[in-house]
Chain A
Amino acid sequence: MSEVETILIVEDEQQIREAVAMALECEGFQVCQAGTASHATVQAAARKHQLVILDLGLPDRDGVEFIRDYRAWSSTPILILSARSEERSKVEALDAGADDYLTKPFGIAELLARVRALLRRRQFNTSEPQATLQFGDYSIDCVNRVVTRCGEAIHLSQIEYRLLAFLAANPGRVLTHRHLLAQVWGGQAVENPQYLRVYVGHLRQKIEDNPAQPRHILTEIGVGYRFQP
């Protein structure tokens, strides 16, 4: 990393904004702050940021709308901060193009971990797509569509394979039910999350040591799944 990474914080509560800014500055990031969506738009247009941290409950505009507009011209990762009561808008925001979320109250350690993961992924995304994905003892050969564990092939159905390959290609990222359904099954399946749950169950049986306490395919209750390599 040659340049200092700048992060835009959009949050109307000054106390939280400053606490987050302080924590990020201590970690060596450069921080821009905005208290409203309109101010954030001005800031976003003025200079390039490597990450946006966005509170969904802004006074002047719906956070989800802000994300939609922002996504129209920028692919900078967005981390959402949401209150517990905003379960639904959180999913909407992720579907609209946000990359990850944190529920208030959150710990600073967790925030920093998410920020680092998102920044890392940004670099990963700009590199070439990989023909082989690795996680744990597993390896996915995307050319021959074969999954092996310590060199031994694992039998997966086509949908199971597609699901696993898509999850593994997006490590650490929270993927909503809708997003996964659209990617793996196609557009007509997005209203049937039970398909997804059944296949995730199958997949866990095949790749997790303890399917009830999974290590790789983690559940984000009410939102979707997160793959942890």
Chain B
Amino acid sequence: MRKPISPLPTIGYLWSVLGTVTGSLLLSPLRNLVELSNIALLYVLSIVVVAVTYGRGPAVLGALLSSLCYAYFFVPPHFSLAITEAQNLLAAVIMLIVALLVSHLASHLKQHADYAHQKSVESTNLYELSQALAGAMTPASVITLASQFFAESLQARQVRVFLPNEFDTATDPINPALLAQCIERRQLLSRPLGSGSFYAVMPLTAASGVQGVLGLELEAYALSSAEAVETIETVASVVAVAMERSFFAAKARETEIKHAAESLRSSILSALSHDLRTPLTALVGMAETVALGKAPAERQKSMLEAIRNQALSISQQMTNLLDMAKLSAGKFELNTDWQPIEEVIGASLQQVKSHWPERDIRVALEPNLPPLNIDAVLIERVLWNLIENAIKYSPDASPIDIAVKRSEGHNDIDVCDRGPGIDPDRQEQLFELFQRGKAESGVPGVGLGLSIAKTIVEAHGGKISVSNRDAGGCCFRIQLPVGNPPVFLEANDPS
């Protein structure tokens, strides 16, 4: 990238004048010891140095000044510009010509070297940019990277990319007409902003068409030469290709998500049709039988009881479905608070007891458990799902064991039953949506409870797993991170 105009030339001229004059003054007392031709060579040498360091202008000035100083200080008559001998005049003239030639060549070389250096810096920058762009997965990150690049290398301000859908609404400092013109001409257009800067717009064109328009505010020097504009165009084309790729990538991801949603929808449909329609059919049948009024009173009562239970179970499954829809839509927010896990377990048991008052549930809590930063409503949901599963899938007379222990950085909550256990091959899948321990089971359910539990536990930074017990049955374990509970002051509470 072109550098802003540096203060270098002024310093170059200054050094050239100062160096020549002081050098001449310092050397002048020695004029009788050093031969005149060597002094001329010394001048030429100094001009080479100036030419290499500061370029042509200062070198030419130095050459002119040198020949004057040479004539004034060294060529007899001393301290006069007059040159009496033809020999000396010739030497002075040759010195001037050599100095001019050398300064020209040296500065030319320097310019080339500078140009090469600048080009290599530019290509390094461009390389780094394209590498960074290769890692950018979304159009937004491509735009961010491009903006950073222009801001750093060109001191550009207000860098932004106008996407095709913003073309008609673009306002100050540009307008839709300017954008249309820019796209039509496929080239960089700029308009002055006052205070010496310009606002430039540049179409980002890739194989599949215009990806957007780059707009940026630049100082005049950044647009001063054809090369500078070409550099901007090169960068713009790299950015355009990256944008195009990221658009395609985003589209591919979207398709993938759509596909996943599609397969989810079909599994929901099959779950609904099988697991909800079957009990609903039974429900309607029983209700009609009762309505006919032909069954004996005792039988009617038990049928009404069955209708109630069936409806409750459907309602429970609807709740699960709705919860899962809410959780998987990512719309839930953890409403966390530090609370003792005992309290959440107590509340879950309170509910379980109201549904299954006869069931033997044993609780073993380690003393002095630390409080956890959890959303109690959701964790209670997890516990309820696990306990409900344990009760549903194990013999009525067998006990359910709930245990809470501390482990490294976690609280482990185990819910264990004496049911048939879980096939080790299926233990992983069990937590996925619509997966059940057995595909066709007499126990009602659609296979949502565990994936709800998993989603909630993972949202808390925890883990859920299942293992089989030695003496039969299985154990679900929730691990919740302990964290740093706030220090609780009980000072203001005299007993």
**Chain A residues in contact with chain B, CB under 8 A?**
84-85, 87, 105, 155-160, 193-195, 197-198, 200-201, 211-214, 218-222
Known interface pairs A194-B337, A222-B377. Does A213 touch B346 (Cβ–Cβ under 8 Å)?
A: yes
A219 in complex: contacting residue of B347, B365, B495, CB < 8 Å:
B347
Q: How far is the CA of A218 from the CA of B351 in the complex (A)?
A: 11
Flag if B315 contacts A105 (CB, 8 Å).
Answer: yes
Is B7 close to A, CB under 8 A? no
Flag if B312 contacts A105 (CB, 8 Å).
Answer: yes
Give the chain B neighbours of A159 by CB distance below 8 A.
493
> A191 CB to closest chain B CB, in angstroms?
11
Is B494 close to A, CB under 8 A? yes
Flag if B345 contacts A157 (CB, 8 Å).
Answer: no
6 tightest A-B CB contacts, nearest first: A222-B377, A219-B347, A157-B495, A221-B347, A159-B493, A194-B338
Known interface pairs A105-B315, A158-B493, A219-B350. Does A193 touch B337 (Cβ–Cβ under 8 Å)?
A: yes
> A81 CB to closest chain B CB, in angstroms?
15
Flag if B346 contacts A212 (CB, 8 Å).
Answer: yes
Is B343 close to A, CB under 8 A? yes
Most chain A CB within a 10 A radius of its CB, from B337, B340, B377, B494: B340
Give the chain B neighbours of A85 by CB distance below 8 A.
322, 326
Give the chain A neighbours of B339 by CB distance below 8 A.
193-194, 197
Q: How far is the CA of A220 from the CA of B345 in the complex (A)?
A: 12
> B337 CB to closest chain A CB, in angstroms?
6
Flag if A201 contacts B342 (CB, 8 Å).
Answer: yes
Nearest B residue to A219 via CB reads B347
Instruction: Compute the total of residue contacts between A and B using a CB distance below 8 Å.
Output: 69
Flag if B495 contacts A194 (CB, 8 Å).
Answer: no
Flag if A194 contacts B486 (CB, 8 Å).
Answer: yes
Give the chain A neighbours of B338 by CB distance below 8 A.
194, 197
Interface residues of B in 332-354 (CB under 8 A from A): 335, 337-340, 342-347, 349-350
Q: A198-B340, A213-B346 are in contact. List 6 more A-B contacts (CB 8 A).
A: A84-B319, A194-B339, A201-B340, A219-B343, A219-B347, A221-B380
Is B371 close to A, CB under 8 A? yes
Chain B residues bordering chain A, tally (CB within 8 A)? 30
Give the chain A neighbours of B335 by CB distance below 8 A.
87, 222
Flag if A198 contacts B488 (CB, 8 Å).
Answer: yes
> B437 CB to closest chain A CB, in angstroms?
26
A200 in complex: contacting residue of B337, B343, B371, B380, CB < 8 Å:
B343
Flag if A155 contacts B495 (CB, 8 Å).
Answer: yes
Give the chain B neighbours of A198 by CB distance below 8 A.
340, 488, 490
Flag if B371 contacts A194 (CB, 8 Å).
Answer: yes
Residues 340-380 of chain B, each 1 if its beta carbon lies under 8 Å from chain A, else 0: 10111111011000000000000101000001000011001
Q: How far is the CA of A159 from the CA of B490 in the complex (A)?
A: 10
Q: How far is the CA of A48 from the CA of B328 in the complex (A)?
A: 47
Give the chain A neighbours of B349 by CB distance below 8 A.
212-213
Give the chain B neighbours of A214 by CB distance below 8 A.
346
Most chain B CB within a 10 A radius of its CB, from A198, A200, A219: A219
Q: How far is the CA of A84 from the CA of B326 in the complex (A)?
A: 12
Known interface pairs A84-B319, A213-B363, A222-B376. Does A201 touch B343 (Cβ–Cβ under 8 Å)?
A: yes
Known interface pairs A157-B494, A201-B342, A221-B376. Does A212 touch B347 (Cβ–Cβ under 8 Å)?
A: no
Known interface pairs A212-B365, A219-B347. Does A158 touch B376 (Cβ–Cβ under 8 Å)?
A: no
Known interface pairs A85-B326, A219-B350. Does A157 touch B340 (Cβ–Cβ under 8 Å)?
A: no
Q: How far is the CA of A160 from the CA of B345 in the complex (A)?
A: 22
> A83 CB to closest chain B CB, in angstroms?
10
Interface residues of B in 300-323 (CB under 8 A from A): 312, 315, 319, 322
Most chain A CB within a 10 A radius of its CB, from B326, B345, B493: B493
What are 15 A-B contacts defined by CB distance under 8 Å?
Answer: A84-B319, A84-B322, A87-B377, A105-B315, A194-B337, A197-B343, A198-B490, A201-B343, A211-B342, A212-B342, A212-B346, A219-B343, A219-B346, A220-B347, A221-B377
Nearest A residue to B363 via CB reads A212
Q: How far is the CA of A159 from the CA of B346 in the complex (A)?
A: 23
Give the chain B neighbours of A157 by CB distance below 8 A.
493-495
Q: How far is the CA of A106 from the CA of B478 in the complex (A)?
A: 29
Give the chain B neighbours of A200 by CB distance below 8 A.
343
Q: How far is the CA of A212 from the CA of B413 in the complex (A)?
A: 14
Q: How far is the CA of A222 from the CA of B342 in the complex (A)?
A: 14
Give the chain B neighbours of A219 by CB distance below 8 A.
343-344, 346-347, 350
Q: How far is the CA of A192 from the CA of B337 in the complex (A)?
A: 9
Q: How far is the CA of A106 from the CA of B326 in the complex (A)?
A: 22
Interface residues of B in 455-495 (CB under 8 A from A): 486, 488, 490, 493-495
Flag if A212 contacts B345 (CB, 8 Å).
Answer: yes
